[in-house]
Chains A and B, each alone.
Chain A
């Protein structure tokens, strides 16, 4: 914690030298109307179903995991594209595994471990045509430092309203009349 304090002091010193730092954002003017930014996702809104669906078009592809001839490509916070890559000249997008809130995954012995926001799920994929949720550990990935502000700097965000529950993640989307910035 001491080193955090030192980092903070160094940061302050840095900010007093560089005008582009966030310290001058206190005087920032917030835009009226719609703007691209971050919106908090509250705990009450999780879709906990894990469902195999027809393949989807990629919109916001994120992390990837390769297992033999299959690629698993995360569609950020939506689920996982399942791709048959047995012929590298013609990869096939074969299905979409809906896991709301997922951002990353890994596979061991036919089981995919994937997050649903701060929950950790185990999904049997030994038959990729019939994935089955076999285990769920609620909130096991929670970390005290998470979720207080959006993951990226330089964006407006909807200020947190604690009456809606606790924040489990952030969605990059169009927001209106934001009053917070990072």
Chain B
């Protein structure tokens, strides 16, 4: 398709959808700075560096404005690496059998600080205020085993230790806000009071009317963006922990 035709299509599409965003607005809001991936992200940008987990490798790249990508360092670990989370200038890496804590003060040579072992499963990890949360899923991932939400004390990163483990059902991504822990599990979203990490309280299990299965949640501050097997939802989290769908795009 010719580019001209494509532009016409986009313009028509924008008019048709009543989109009032002009190009000027679009440009202003997309350049400068970095954005946010979910808890399942395998790419992460911080400062002038891009980190990617691929196979058993954590690779670091130096980025320069325009087109520069330079591969600087590789840290090879013993597991199949899956997810990246930035926590106070450290990387938390979720893998198929451990959570790794990695020092990136020298972005060119990421250094392993410590690891938190669990038996084989698929797990993203997030953290806030010295506490890390990791879901351990085996459904569609490894043979049958227990699926867990682990709460880990990381106040001493050299010595991460388990605070508590909770049974969950087919967990995927998760996010931790100021007041709550939200976990995609059991075909819905669990809203969990985490004010006492040793004694999590399940408050609500939210499900989509359409039966969409949530995979990951990004907390943008204003809204929660939830990815599912059929599309994306914008969700509002109220102060008392209830979830309300604001808008969505799903497959027809």
Chain B residue contacts of A86, Cβ below 8 A: 21, 25, 29
- Judge if A164 is at the interface, Cβ distance under 8 Å: no
Do A135 and B69 have beta carbons less than 8 Å apart? yes
Whether A108 touches B63, Cβ cut-off 8 Å, given contacts A54-B9, A92-B19, A118-B54, is: yes
B80 to chain A, nearest CB (A): 7
Q: Tell me the complex Cα distance, A92–B249, Å.
A: 7
Do B71 and A140 have beta carbons less than 8 Å apart? yes
Q: Tell me the complex Cα distance, A52–B8, Å.
A: 13
Q: Tell me the complex Cα distance, A90–B248, Å.
A: 7
Q: Tell me the complex Cα distance, A86–B66, Å.
A: 26
- Judge if A134 is at the interface, Cβ distance under 8 Å: yes
A168 to chain B, nearest CB (A): 12
Chain B residue contacts of A144, Cβ below 8 A: 55-56
Chain B residue contacts of A89, Cβ below 8 A: 234, 246-247
Do B34 and A107 have beta carbons less than 8 Å apart? yes
Count, chain A residues at interface, CB 8 A: 73
Option from A106, A140, A146 in Cβ contact (under 8 Å) with B59 = A140
Question: Per DSSP, are chain B's interface residues mostly helix, strand or loop, or mixed?
Answer: mixed
Whether A91 touches B6, Cβ cut-off 8 Å, given contacts A20-B144, A108-B63, is: no
Residue of A nearest to B228 (CB): A61
Q: Which residues of A in the span 1-58 have a Cβ within 8 Å of any Cβ on B?
A: 3-4, 7, 18, 20-22, 52-55, 57-58
Looking at B57, B249, B252, which has the most chain A CB atoms within 10 Å of its CB?
A: B249
Do B56 and A54 have beta carbons less than 8 Å apart? no
Report A77-88 CB contacts with B as 1/0, cut-off 8 Å.
Answer: 000000111111
Q: Tell me the complex Cα distance, A38–B196, Å.
A: 43
Do B59 and A141 have beta carbons less than 8 Å apart? yes
Q: Which residues of B in the span 76-103 have a Cβ within 8 Å of any Cβ on A?
A: 78, 80, 97
- Judge if A167 is at the interface, Cβ distance under 8 Å: no
A14 to chain B, nearest CB (A): 9
Do B19 and A104 have beta carbons less than 8 Å apart? no
Do B6 and A52 have beta carbons less than 8 Å apart? yes
Report B9-29 CB contacts with A as 1/0, cut-off 8 Å.
Answer: 110011001010101011101
Chain A residue contacts of B25, Cβ below 8 A: 86
Whether A64 touches B218, Cβ cut-off 8 Å, given contacts A143-B55, A145-B80, is: yes
Do A153 and B41 have beta carbons less than 8 Å apart? no
Q: Tell me the complex Cα distance, A4–B141, Å.
A: 19
- Judge if A116 is at the interface, Cβ distance under 8 Å: no
Do A94 and B13 have beta carbons less than 8 Å apart? yes
Report B234-252 CB contacts with A as 1/0, cut-off 8 Å.
Answer: 1000000000001111111
Q: Residues of B with Cβ closer than 8 Å to A?
A: 1, 6-7, 9-10, 13-14, 17, 19, 21, 23, 25-27, 29-38, 40-45, 48, 50, 52, 54-57, 59, 61, 63, 65-69, 71, 78, 80, 97, 140-144, 216, 218, 220, 222-223, 225, 227-232, 234, 246-252
